[in-house]
Structure formats: C-alpha cells, structure tokens
Amino acid sequence: MLEVRDLAVSFEGKPFMHHVNLTVPDGDVLAILGPSGSGKSTLLRAVAGLESPDAGSISWDGELLDGVPPHARGFGLMFQDYALFPHMTVGANVAFGIEGRSDVKERTAEVLERVGLAGYDHRSVGRLSGGEQQRVALARSLAPEPRLLMLDEPVGSLDRALRERIVPELRELFLRLHITAIYVTHDQEEAFTVADQMVILRDGTIVQTGTPEQVWSSPADAWVARFLGFSNIIDVDVSAGVATAPWGTFEVPALDDGRHQVIVRETAIELNGPLHGVVRQRRFRGGHYEAAIEMQDGTILETELGVAPAIGDTSFGIDPQGVVRLPDREA
C-alpha cells in the first residue's frame, strides 16, 4: 500500500505541489486527473523518486522511502512518450528490467503475449506504430512485476478508436494481475474507466478525492464540474422545491431553500416541456446528439439527446434527477 502524506514538491525551483495526501491500497488503481500543468507528472516523479519532495513523506507498507533511489523502490513507470530505448530491440527493451533472471526469455515472451505483441521480439522499436510502441512500453514496465505501476498519460498519443479500445483492456489487465497502479491522465473518461479511486489535481493540490461515481455525482466545486465536462453550471434561488434561474424556473424537490450553484446534466434536458429556448447548434455524436439551446437572456444550455432536435424554437423540461447541487462556495 502506498501512502503519501502532506507532500510538497517544487517545480523548476519554485514551490508548486502542496498538501498532497493519497493512499493506494494493494490491488487498487488510482487515477490522478487534472489539466496540463496541474502537477500530475511531478507527483508521479516524486513518488518514483526521480524528484525529491520539499516536505512530506512517501511510504510503502509503512516503510519510508525517503532517500531510496528510484532503481531501488520496486516501482514501475510508463512514460508519456514511452521512452523506449532506441538502440535495443523490442525484446531487449522488455527484458531490460529482468535481465539476469533465469527465466528472462520465458517471461519476456509471456508479457509480450499478454499485451498482444507475441513474436515482436526482434523488431526494432523505431519502426513500430504508436499503438505497438505503447504496448511495448507497457510490457516493459510489467515485466519486472513492480509492486506499484505508474502510468503517465499512457494513451495520450493514440488515436481515439485505439484509446477507447485499450483503456478498458488496461483496466481488465490491472484487475486480472492484481496490479497496484497510479494512472495519470487529463481525460476524465479514461479516468472513470480505469480507476477504483480518483483524485483531481489543480495547480499542485488535490481538490477532490473519491470513487469515479462519487466524483461524477458530486463534483466538489464549479471548477471540477467544468473540468469533468459539465457545461451547465447555474446560480439559482431555490424556494419550496422550485429553482429560479435568470431564464426560467424548474422543479428541484430535493434541494433546500437558498441560493445555490447547481449543475444541470446535459442528459437531464428533455424536449417538450415548460421551458422555451432556441436550438442554435446541433452536433451528431454517433450514438446521440448534442445541442446548444439559447435562452432568452443569452445563457446557453448544452444538452444530450437521443433524437435530432430541430434547429430553432424549442420547448424542453429539466428532469430534477439530473440536477446536482454543488457545495456552497466558501465566503
């Protein structure tokens, strides 16, 4: 089990990460989600031992890792651009962490097969496609059976189709091999797919932790909500189960009175209801449609619909189930 307590790390000489606390139980996958520059890679490097923290502690199973060099921690790190050794073959790359073991050949073959690259042993890494390189990098970091595997944006440079196929496969792999992992990404869908637990990082500090469901259903604040992809963040006055927005009212039986900030999920907007607006834009997303509805005061509400909405005037309703209250902002 990994425990990070009150970690502070500088970046390029200036204090950056602070008050970072997280725990990764054995066999769990922790996703670290955050935009670029939020400190994800720095955090990973600190845990790996490639950066030294300014303050705080990192320990594994109770043993402090202070001063333990990276090669002695038993952690694996899969790099963003794979960092494959260009002067070695696929096989040599994968075998690098287990050289000297008696079963090097078997293990290499086994792990290559596991990532679907059986027979790639003698290939040169320079001629591999992006997906193949990614899998070699994965195989390489898996081979030594590290007690903690860290992945830094592992699918970032792959095309969407590949990504959507690989990420669930990764989750599958982690579960099957009981791998303890930290998965860093800026893409919330990836994070949701792969994680048992999540933390959201912003400007060097953690702003929310929880399971993917928890995070999804109750974002910690408007920023997190926006980062998770929610567009409809609205200030409303609630009174007797009715929310009043600048452009109209809708029912919110579960909310108590007062001024609140709420998220209206895109899926909560259904056509044919009491509210009126104008569909300005419609986007086909394969399985569903997205549309932007402009209200009379200019506010745009994003919706996700099963059928194509007609451009122009429309009426719609808001399903109270899809309205989430954000925690009150601190004064």
Partner 1 sequence: MKRPRRISDVFLVGIPLLFLAYFFAYPLGAILLKSLVTNGRVDLTPFGDVFNRGTLRGAIWFTAWQATASMLLTLAMALPAAYVFARYRFRGKSLMKAAITVPFVLPTVVVGTAFLALLGPTGVVDLSGTVWLILIAHVFFNFAVVVRTVGGFWGNLDPRLEEAARMLGASRWKAFRTITLPLLRPALAAAGSIVFLFTFTSFGVILILGGLRFSTIEVEIYRQTITYLQLPIAAALAVIQLVGVTSILVAYSTFQRRRTIELPLRPSEEVARSPRSTSDRLLVSGTLIISGIFLGTPLALLIVRSLRTGTGFGLAAYRSLATQTSALFVPPIDAIRNSLLIATAATVLAVTIGMMAAVIVAYRTGLFSRAFDVLLMLPLGTSAVTIGFGFLVALGKPVDLRTSPILLPIAHALVAIPFVVRTAVPVMRSVRQDLRDAAAMLGATPARVWRRIDLPMISRAGLIGAGFAFAVSLGEFGATSFLARPATPTLPIAIFRLLGRPGTFPQALALATILMVLTAASMFAIERFRFGEVGEF
Report the nearest approach of partner 1 to the CB of residue 54 (Å): 18
Binding residues among 110-129 for partner 1 as defined by CB under 8 A: 124, 126-127
Distance CA 176, CA 174 (A): 6
Q: Which is nearer to partner 1, 142 or 305 (CB)?
A: 142
Nearest distance in Å: CB 91, partner 1: 13
d(CA 110, CA 101): 14
Cβ nearer to partner 1, comparing 181 with 234: 181
Binding mask 29-58 for partner 1 (x = CB under 8 A): ----------------x--x-x--------
Which distant-in-sequence residues (6+ apart) come within 8 Å of 63 by Cβ?
A: none
* Shortest reach from residue 140's CB to partner 1, in Å: 7
| Residue 119: burial class (beta carbons within 10 Å; 0-12, 13-18, 19+) | exposed
Instruction: Dump strand ranges (E) for the chain.
Output: 2-11, 14-24, 29-33, 55-60, 63-64, 75-78, 148-152, 181-185, 197-202, 205-210, 233-239, 242-245, 248-251, 258-264, 269-284, 289-294, 300-305, 312-318, 323-326
**Complex with partner 1: residue 112 or 324, whichever CB lies closer:** 112
- Decide whether 93 or 314 has the Cβ nearer to partner 1: 93
Give the C-alpha distances (Å, rounded to integers) separating 280 from 108, 129, 288: 55, 41, 17
For 70, 97, 109, 165, 280, the CA distances from 140, given in Å and listed in that order, are 16, 7, 11, 20, 49
Place of tokens 């452009």: 247
Name the minimum Å distance from CB 141 to partner 1.
7
141 is an interface residue for partner 1 by CB under 8 A? yes
Write the secondary structure of 107-131 as one string of H (helix), E (strand) and C (coil): HHHHHHHHCCCCCCCCCEHHHCCHH
| Closest CB to partner 1 among residues 32, 245 | 32
Q: How many residues of this chain interact with partner 1, rule: CB under 8 A?
A: 26
Among 23, 25, 26, 83, binds partner 1 (CB under 8 A): 83
Binding range to partner 1, per CB under 8 A, among 71-79, 111-119, 170-178, 180-188: 71-79
Radius of gyration of the chain (CA): 24
Residue choice 131, 144, 204, 277 for contact with partner 1 (CB under 8 A): 144
Residue 172 in the binding site for partner 1 (CB under 8 A): no
Question: Is 87 near partner 1 (CB under 8 A)?
Answer: yes
70 binds partner 1 (CB under 8 A): yes
State the residue for tokens 């600190």.
46
At its nearest, how many Å lie between partner 1 and the CB of residue 231? 34
312 touches partner 1 (CB under 8 A): no
Tokens standing for residue 237: 């006055």
Contact status: 13 vs partner 1 (CB under 8 A): no
Nearest by Cα to 52 from 75, 25, 35, 70: 70
Looking at residues 93 to 112 of the shown chain, list those that interact with partner 1 (rule: CB under 8 A). Answer: 96-97
Binding site for partner 1 (CB under 8 A): 45, 48, 50, 69-72, 74-77, 79, 81, 83, 85-88, 96-97, 124, 126-127, 140-141, 144
